[in-house]
Amino acid sequence: MGSDSLSILTPSTKPTPLPSQEEDSANPSAALLSFDTDSSPSSSANSPHKPATTIVFISLLLTTCVALSAAVAFAFLFFSSPSGSPHPSSSSFESSARPLKNLHHPVVLLISSDGFRFGYQFKTPTPNIGRLIANGTEADMGLIPVFPTLTFPNHYSIVTGLYPSYHGIINNHFVDPHTGELFTMASHEPKWWLGEPLWETVVNHGFKAATYFWPGSEVNKGSWTCPEKFCKHYNGSVPFEERVDTVLHYFDLPSTEIPVFMTLYFEDPDHQGHQVGPDDPEITKAVARIDGLIGKLIEGLEKRGVFEDVTIIMVGDHGMVGTCDKKLIFLDDLAPWVEIPKDWVQSYTPLLAIRPPPGVEPADVVAKINEGLKSGKVENGQNLRVYLKEELPSRLHYAASDRIPPVIGLIEEGFKVEQKRTNRRECGGAHGYDNAIFSMRTIFIGHGPQFARGRKVPSFENVQIYNLVTSILNIQGAPNNGSLSFPTSVLLPPSP
């Protein structure tokens, strides 16, 4: 099938199931209050034990009353305290979406913190992100990126609901096999970007959309013309605070002019993660800064009286894992089995992608590479497995595009592939690995009228977010790989 075809798209993808949290253990109070009243002999009027039994029973009853009174008093003080955290089960009291108060139409603000690995929120106090979580809905064990777990494929999957095989952005850099043209992160020609991103869907329904940096948003495609007022061309030097201020100013427009869908993008903590890995103090600083920006956003929305009306969806595009040059696999080490010239390789790491020239059978290349890797004579060879793309695990959804080279190598977490040996010995961080690896997980937080407060949902793939947004905005989405029923498992039903 050609890469431009969307004909086989079906809403068949289901949220990835994860083991649910263990049920809360039985209430210990119940154990304390259960007496074995049948342990004494029959209660005949002439029983010599009756007075003692009566005294014990009365004592236990009084103790129980005191304990229950104390518990009630404690509960009253805790839940009436304005500083008390929302109770985890508070969402069970919400039966439907909360009505809008100061906006005439739902508004979704989609925020990406690039490379925000799941768990980063615990590295340092994050009161503002914590506020969104406590009063919103969170993917309990993180958001699952699509494969490959790279920036451009994942950002475009989030806004199209399509796997990279179908939206066409199969890597951050790749070659068109028909024309030989190179796609880079600066390629804005519509031919590369397939599918229908959310900003285009919104405009198709007569609403306004605004994008403050998002891969694909600068592409003039369909009804989307990247209007100057509402579409910012990427410039990484723009201060994060300025980006937040610009988005806040959209809410100063007349109500009919406010975009109903907005994006906001921050490069951190991905920038730091690549330099120092996921466990460096620089990551902690970057996460604290992102939390401060979320606080600035919340404060601005509150001043405008719309914080409770606006739907904020905060995500990352992928996680991060530490790498060091002692964890290397060299293609030149495979020479006794097969030579892999540099010009065959379109991507080395963390996704190995090889396109042999005409006349060289990809299946033979795969067989010879794997023979060498299994020989025990290739350093770290056991940490790489090479496939024909159509034989990759189907859960990766990484075969249905001719833009994907025919030979794909899956590299174990933290390892890298290079062409030849060097004397470099550097440590840092990387992503792009199999999306089943937990370190590739990122965050999903939804806060707004249609998200229950304090709710945890099982992890899911980011292709589900497109349908989630169209459901919140009450518009018809384009065909995509997400499940049409998914929003009902995450969102509160509309108000009666």
182-228 per-position pLDDT tens digit: 999 999 999 999 999 999 999 999 999 999 999 999 999 999 999 99
Quote the pLDDT of residue 166.
98
pLDDT tens, position by position, 133-176: 999 999 999 999 999 999 999 999 999 999 999 999 999 999 99
Q: Above pLDDT 90, what percent of the chain?
A: 78
- Whether the pLDDT of residue 76 is over 70: the answer is no
- 311 backbone dihedrals φ, ψ, rounded to 5°: -90, 115
Q: How high does pLDDT run on average in the chain?
A: 86
> Rounded distance, CA 430 to CA 418, Å?
14
- Whether the pLDDT of residue 49 is over 50: the answer is no
Which region among 63-67, 253-257, 297-301, 400-404 has the lowest average model confidence (pLDDT)?
Answer: 63-67
Q: Do domains 107-322+436-490 and 326-424 have the same CATH topology?
A: no
Contacts of 234 (CB under 8 A, 6+ apart): 213, 218
Architecture category of domain 107-322+436-490 in CATH = 3-Layer(aba) Sandwich (3.40)
Quote the pLDDT of residue 423.
74
Q: What are the domain boundaries of the chain? A: 107-322+436-490, 326-424
What is the average per-residue pLDDT within 30-34? 29
**Residue from 117, 152, 459 nearest 320 by CA:** 117
What is the average per-residue pLDDT within 436-461? 98
- 336-342, Cβ contacts within 8 angstroms, sequence gap of 24 or more: 336/372, 336/377, 337/368, 337/369, 337/371, 337/372, 337/375, 338/365, 338/368, 338/369, 338/372, 340/365, 340/369, 342/419
Quote the pLDDT of residue 93.
64
**Hunting for tokens 């024309």 — which residue is that?**
179
**Hunting for tokens 């285009």 — which residue is that?**
200
The two three-digit tokens of residue 139, written as one number: 């993917």
**Hunting for tokens 């065909």 — which residue is that?**
479
pLDDT tens, position by position, 336-376: 999 999 999 999 999 999 999 999 999 999 999 999 999 99
- Fold of domain 326-424: Gyrase A; domain 2 (3.30.1360)
Highest mean pLDDT among 11-25, 397-411, 420-434: 397-411
What is the average per-residue pLDDT within 219-248? 97
Q: Is 107 helix (H, G, I), strand (E, B) or coil?
A: strand
The two three-digit tokens of residue 132, written as one number: 């969104």
Contacts of 284 (CB under 8 A, 6+ apart): 123, 124
> Rounded distance, CA 40 to CA 319, Å?
63
For residues 72-107, one letter each, b for 16 or more C-beta atoms within 10 angstroms of the residue's C-beta and e for the rest, the string is: eeeeeeeeeeeeeeeeeebbeeeeebbebeebeebb
Per the confidence metrics, is the pTM higher than 0.85? no
What is the average per-residue pLDDT within 226-248? 97
The residue annotated as part of the active site, out of 126, 137, 151, 442, is: 151
Quote the pLDDT of residue 270.
97
Quote the pLDDT of residue 487.
98
Query: Regarding predicted confidence, which is higher, 415 or 32?
Result: 415
- Whether the pLDDT of residue 23 is over 90: the answer is no
Quote the pLDDT of residue 392.
98
pLDDT tens, position by position, 309-328: 999 999 999 999 999 888 99
> Rounded distance, CA 471 to CA 192, Å?
27
- Whether the pLDDT of residue 480 is over 60: the answer is yes
For residue 304, CA distances in Å to 103, 261, 422 come to 11, 18, 57
Count of Cβ atoms closer than 10 Å to residue 357 Cβ = 8
- Establish whether 151 is a catalytic residue: yes
Query: Regarding predicted confidence, which is higher, 73 or 452?
Result: 452
> Rounded distance, CA 303 to CA 306, Å?
8
